Chain A
Amino acid sequence: MRLLLDLRKISEPAERERLAREADEHGIWGVVVTGPRGGECVEASALATTTQHVTIVIDIDGNDVHPTTLAEEISVLDQITKRRTMVIFRGPSTSKTSLATLLSGLPCEGVILSPPPAQASIPVHSPEDIPETNLPEDMAQLATTIDQYRDSQTAFLIVSWARSIKELARHAVGRSASNDFPQMVADMADQIDPIDQ
């Protein structure tokens, strides 16, 4: 299971940028961003320039816009992020199908994207594909929550987290990836290298 840090409710641009950089530095798999309708890729592109590794997941409104226009924006974004783009699409299912086809580099109704996406195929999800949760601050509860989602075969989990990103990375990333996560190593790390909140 891969963790996606939710930045959609962070109102201050500087705070979103700080959290994205920390997620990038500490190995969080992705950050979820959005924007005003039409501004989603603008927001994502700005964060792409200040990060190098983290996947940038755009939560995009696909209503009342041609799917080719959306696909062009996302394809350009994928060039800018250097293959670090993923999509959560909200809109008509026909548009989602067209978008996913175009973002796979395949023609749709005679159109093929130019430039193509940088990655072979940009993943396109519906909101219901990816659960969301506010992670508890208590470490035992955090472990239980992560274990439940991981063991139910969840591929991605969007998390809201109010504490240190390093703490999230230390206690939740490895646990999300594996059911034999050695909690004692994370606990020992807290003693050797305490995290200031």
Chain B
Amino acid sequence: MDMGIGLWCLQSTSTNPRSFGQAYQELVEDARLAEDNGVHSLWLSEHHAYYDGYCPALMPAAAAALAATENIQIGTGVLLLPLHEPQRIANAANLLNEQSSGRFHLGVGMGYRPIEFEIKQRDMSQRLKLMNAGLDALHSATQTPTWVGISSEKAAERAGRRGLGLFISGAFSKEVVNTLIRAHRTAWEKSDPDEDTPPPVGLLRNLWIVDSQKERRRALDWVRSSYLVYAGLGWGADNTGVDFVSQIETSMDEVEKSATVGSAEEIAAELDGYDVDLVVCRIGYDQPPRSALTEVIERIGRELAPLVQDSGVKL
């Protein structure tokens, strides 16, 4: 399996205020660092009209990262397709792949924040219809590898029927993840596909490489606090039975249980239990000092990636 890193959101949060110019400069620096250390891919994330500047336009950000690198893949994890005009997205994706010799991946999702639909004058109750229409348009307009961000079995089945890759949310237990993967694979097989190999599965994972119990506790605290950001956004994971907005402490406990924190060897052993092609290590938290972030990027590439390269399927 391949090891990617995510999610770069280009925020200036209350926890870690910074200039946006610095955030975008660090995106380029981090992409170069990841490339130099053999990381497979870097993934960006989108939201709109949030106080912290959460990146609302992933294509220009991806273009900057791709233009500054030569080998690393850059992906959107995920772009909120119902909020965009699909033909414009397809055109941009095609241009990114032309400029980067095919290093761009388009991950798409539906979105869940009412305000984002309001400001784009879209009906949120129609988001599934908008998503399907968008995927239809992308299918006919771009060859860009396309992944669908999902957090439910129905969504996994829809992606499987279309022969699209899965991008699985990061807060799930192994049991839930495997259920989603099975639903995706079964739906793909029933669709009478032309291809011999199933569409790829990517798994977002809250992950940090540590050397001691003290570092482990610190990393878990970073993971926990990062979900405050999502609580602020109103995000909630299906299949967990927890309301991430009103039960913040409980949701953090849930997230901590699913986090993969340990030595590179321990993490590799844990990841070996997943039938996935790509793991996107969710390390783009806002609390860790920059030195810790750059160190973990290096260690993911140099220590973890070689240990898992024979697991799963290479993309």
Identify the A interface with B (CB < 8 A). 13, 35-39, 41-50, 64-66, 68-69, 72-73, 75-77, 79-80, 82, 110-112, 114-116, 118
Whether, in the assembled complex, B87 has its beta carbon less than 8 Å from a beta carbon of chain A, the answer is: yes
Query: A49-B68, A77-B60, A114-B49 are known contacts; what are 11 more A-B pairs with Cβ within 8 Å?
Result: A13-B98, A41-B59, A45-B60, A45-B63, A65-B85, A68-B120, A69-B83, A72-B57, A76-B24, A80-B60, A114-B52
B residues near A114, Cβ cutoff 8 Å = 48-54, 56
Is the pair B95, A115 in contact by a Cβ cutoff of 8 Å? no
Whether, in the assembled complex, B88 has its beta carbon less than 8 Å from a beta carbon of chain A, the answer is: yes
Is the pair A115, B92 in contact by a Cβ cutoff of 8 Å? no
Whether, in the assembled complex, B55 has its beta carbon less than 8 Å from a beta carbon of chain A, the answer is: yes
Whether, in the assembled complex, B61 has its beta carbon less than 8 Å from a beta carbon of chain A, the answer is: yes
Q: Smallest distance from the beta carbon of A18 to chain B beta carbons, Å?
A: 14
Residue interface bits B41-53, CB-to-A below 8 A is 1, else 0: 0000000111111
Cα A82 to Cα B22 in complex, Å, equals 10
Whether, in the assembled complex, B247 has its beta carbon less than 8 Å from a beta carbon of chain A, the answer is: no
Q: Which residue of B lies closest to A115 (CB)?
A: B53
B residues near A69, Cβ cutoff 8 Å = 57, 83-85, 120
Is the pair B119, A110 in contact by a Cβ cutoff of 8 Å? yes
Is the pair B88, A38 in contact by a Cβ cutoff of 8 Å? yes
Is the pair A49, B28 in contact by a Cβ cutoff of 8 Å? yes
Is the pair A42, B52 in contact by a Cβ cutoff of 8 Å? no
Whether, in the assembled complex, B89 has its beta carbon less than 8 Å from a beta carbon of chain A, the answer is: yes
A residues near B87, Cβ cutoff 8 Å = 37-38
Is the pair A36, B60 in contact by a Cβ cutoff of 8 Å? no
Cα A173 to Cα B224 in complex, Å, equals 56
B residues near A50, Cβ cutoff 8 Å = 67
The B112-132 residues at the A interface (CB cut-off 8 A) are 119-121
Q: Smallest distance from the beta carbon of B92 to chain A beta carbons, Å?
A: 5
Interface size on B, residues (CB 8 A): 43
Is the pair A73, B60 in contact by a Cβ cutoff of 8 Å? yes
A residues near B53, Cβ cutoff 8 Å = 114-116
Cα A66 to Cα B57 in complex, Å, equals 13
Is the pair A64, B64 in contact by a Cβ cutoff of 8 Å? no
A46-B66, A66-B120, A111-B119 known; A73-B99 Cβ under 8 A: no
A residues near B21, Cβ cutoff 8 Å = 79, 82, 118
Cα A75 to Cα B54 in complex, Å, equals 12
Is the pair B91, A36 in contact by a Cβ cutoff of 8 Å? yes
Is the pair B99, A38 in contact by a Cβ cutoff of 8 Å? no
A residues near B67, Cβ cutoff 8 Å = 45-47, 49-50
Residue interface bits B95-106, CB-to-A below 8 A is 1, else 0: 110110000000
A residues near B95, Cβ cutoff 8 Å = 35-36, 39, 42-43
Is the pair B99, A46 in contact by a Cβ cutoff of 8 Å? yes
Cα A114 to Cα B55 in complex, Å, equals 8
Whether, in the assembled complex, B235 has its beta carbon less than 8 Å from a beta carbon of chain A, the answer is: no
Is the pair B56, A38 in contact by a Cβ cutoff of 8 Å? no
Is the pair A37, B91 in contact by a Cβ cutoff of 8 Å? yes
29 A-B pairs (CB sep. < 8 Å): A35-B91, A38-B85, A38-B88, A39-B59, A39-B92, A39-B95, A41-B57, A41-B59, A42-B59, A42-B62, A44-B60, A45-B61, A45-B67, A46-B66, A47-B67, A65-B88, A69-B57, A69-B83, A69-B85, A72-B57, A73-B57, A76-B55, A76-B57, A79-B10, A80-B64, A111-B119, A114-B50, A114-B56, A116-B20
Whether, in the assembled complex, B94 has its beta carbon less than 8 Å from a beta carbon of chain A, the answer is: yes
